Amino acid sequence: MDFDKADHESPYLSFLAAEFQKRGTKLRRTLSNKTKVHRMLREITVGGTHIGLPQQYNVLTSPNQITSESLGERAALKFAHGWSARGVMLLERTGAERYFDHFSLREWSLQEIREKQQETTASFPKKKPAWIIEEMLHGPQPGTIPFDYKFYMFQGQIGLVSQIDRNSSPLRNAFFDGNLNPLVEEQDFRLSSKIQPAAPLVPRSAVMLSRWAVELSQMTDAPFVRVDLYDTENGPYFGEFTFSSGAEHRRTIKFSRKMLNTFDHMFVNAEKMLNSDAVDLPESWSTLLQSTDSEALASQPLLSVTEYERLAHYLYNQGELGGFRLAEAQEALADHGADAAVNQYVSEAHRSAARWVKADRKSPPRGLREALQQVRKDHPPAQVIARKAHRTFRRLMQ
């Protein structure tokens, strides 16, 4: 399987590289500002509902302004102009001027927090220092930190969904294609050693997360934007717009050439749409969402938080039965007013995630897979031995 392309070979990668160096337009710069974009999003509705926005308690201009009073009992502290979670702390008070950071799993004194944030500014010397203190969100997935679902958007068309779990270190990452089918490591994508693979977990709010990603991407003047959203206990919450995805630009994540060809095709189509040219789009999850009444989508019934948590936790810990039970529970929502076509799509996504977990559980561990690949590469005559070892391992796992 061939992975990656040179930037000049790919319209999508070329765009990322250009935006990484300098944000292309005034609108993109505004949408990238975490404070300004919140003001804009308060005016937008989909199906009569607003996207969730973390309540911002304070905006600070110096680390010295970080105090026990400004942080309160629990808060998310974010460097306003950072990316890749740099400068993010999820703080919970443990004592006088002491906080546990759920992000780094360390306890810090107030002075240490200030020093860490001062160090963050050195990574962004051209940015005017600013920090946002906002509410800490809760999700129905395993762990304290809600999963981050990053939608790779091409003017209303979902190309990819990246599922980020920051409850472990290194972080865990899974991927879905634009139709919510789980992708396969070393077939569709390749991760660096800084990232762990994860089981795919279809979000509880999959319908409105996806619909909001469609809506928000069409606010932009860009053929590509990554819309980062959170699946919380209270539904979809906005994270940020990202026009220059650092993971792909720095190649900590590499996609197969087949996936990149898909992105390039969608990128070119998005450019045509921005120019008001007609584009013939295939039927997909994105087109289904846009052809369904937005109020019907917004009123779509959801699994209870308790039921989703229980089954999702089982699936995420390599128990495919949890995914099959999620699919059954999702299907049962048809009796409570769920749109039949939309609900069936989500049910099948849960079922696909379960099949992925079942297949992954029976495959060799990641380290063994890499060792076998190296054997095949370095010693072609040993390929037969490697295949036999693989088959023996699978028999033992059955």
Q: In this structure, are residues 187 and 1 in contact, taking their beta carbons and an 8 Å threshold?
A: yes
pLDDT, position 362: 73
Tens digit of pLDDT per residue, the chain (398 long)? Answer: 689 999 999 999 999 999 988 878 999 999 988 888 999 999 999 999 999 999 989 999 999 999 999 999 999 999 887 666 778 999 999 999 999 999 888 999 999 999 999 988 887 887 788 899 999 999 999 998 899 999 999 999 999 999 999 998 889 999 999 999 999 999 999 999 889 999 999 999 999 999 999 999 999 999 999 999 999 999 999 999 999 888 888 899 999 999 999 999 999 999 999 999 999 999 999 999 999 999 999 999 999 999 999 999 999 987 999 999 999 999 999 999 999 999 999 999 999 999 999 998 777 665 555 555 566 566 655 555 666 666 666 666 65
Type and span of the H or E element at 238 = strand 235-242
Start-to-end CA distance of the chain, whole Å, equals 27
Name the E strands within 290-378: none
pLDDT, position 193: 87
pLDDT, position 267: 98
Q: Closest by alpha carbon to 217, among 247, 243, 181, 179?
A: 243
- Sequence-distant (≥ 6) Cβ neighbours of residue 234 within 8 angstroms: 52
Three-state helix/strand/coil letters over 92-142: EEEECCEEEECCCCEEEEHHHHHHHHHHHHHHCCCCCCCEEEECCCCCCCC
pLDDT, position 18: 93
pLDDT, position 63: 92
Domain ranges of the chain: 21-134, 148-361, 366-397
The SS3 assignment for 192 reads: coil
Residue in this structure with the two tokens 């930037």, named with its chain if needed: 7
Other beta carbons less than 10 A from residue 309's beta carbon: 17
Q: In this structure, are residues 52 and 235 in contact, taking their beta carbons and an 8 Å threshold?
A: yes
